[in-house]
Amino acid sequence: MPLHTFPTAYLRWIGRGYFAAQAAAGAIWWITVFTWDFVREATLGGFDPVLVAVLDVPLFVIASALAAIAPLGGRWAVRLATGWTALVSLGMGAYATITGLAGWGALLMLAAAACSVSAALLIELGRIPTELLLTGPFRITESRPRRTAGHVLLTAAQLVVFWGIALVLVPLGIAWVEARWGLSAPVPAWVRIAGWVLLAAASALGLWSAGAMSSRGEGTPLPIATARRMVVSGPYRFVRNPMAVAGIAQGVAVGLILGSWLVVVYALAGSLLWNWGIRPVEEADLERRFGAEYVAYRDSVRCWVPSAPREHSTT
């Protein structure tokens, strides 16, 4: 269920609930830092825990606790906890990259920063403005009329750029950071082989989907040149978003090939971002442009899980 369908008050309580959990986790972490050497070394590296605690306990633990308490925890506490978490995550990331130490601390703080920003938006706005992801140069724009060959060539160019960035450059960067921060884990050979098999299958699905969209939809799979006609044939008979399914599977496959669990997490996080942030905007646009035709298709074909094909009256 998309986030925008939840009541605003409920979303704000989710945000405050996160800060409560963050405060508890922070308190537990500080206890373990002072009781277990391996936790201190893995998360703080060469930093003096006493000096760090002097700042972090009030600005992270206590501020998060206050942010969770309404109405005592005002916006100042939310902003203080979020700002401090973001600042520390940047500092820890730089420290881990330069020294190779405290990689787990950097990773945990980066995750906490992302979650804190999301929780702060829920508290401040009552929602996360994911529609901003599809604005400016990335806004949904109907493809210009052109011959089928033109749509196919444009789609091919998009795939080269998008796959090159999302499936090559970004994963290689993540894998490098994972190794530099000391987060890598040994991977058996069969995992990498399985990754190649999955990559081949997912890429085939992606090419099939892109071909159907460009040749029958008079557009491309990306929103910047979206299809002019609704496509319900090819892989779209079985699942509404085969390109998304293929992309997530490709990302997981690349993670397996690289032996990087962080790349796998990156791919799965991408699925959450797409499902909760981008999909509602795209589906609202499709309903606006195609009306009852799209609604009937949406109600009969699942988003993620393939289903038996049904007859449709469109392309």
Residue found by looking up tokens 């007859």 in the block: 311
Contacts of 196 (CB under 8 A, 6+ apart): 253, 257
Cis ω before 2 (30° cut-off from 0): no
Q: What is the pTM of this model?
A: 0.89
Task: Kindly report, as residue ranges, where domains of CATH 1.20.120.1630 are found in the chain.
Answer: 133-300
- Domain 133-300 CATH assignment equals 3.10.310.30: no
- Residue 313: helix, strand or coil by DSSP? coil
Contact present, 177 and 263 (Cβ < 8 Å): no
- Per-residue pLDDT tens digits for 183-237: 999 999 999 999 999 999 999 999 999 999 988 888 888 888 888 889 888 999 9
Q: Average the pLDDT over 98-120 and give the result.
A: 96
Contacts of 138 (CB under 8 A, 6+ apart): 223, 224
Tokens of 290: 């195609």
Q: What is the pLDDT of residue 35?
A: 96
How far from 198 is each of 16, 156, 193, CA to CA, in Å?
40, 21, 9
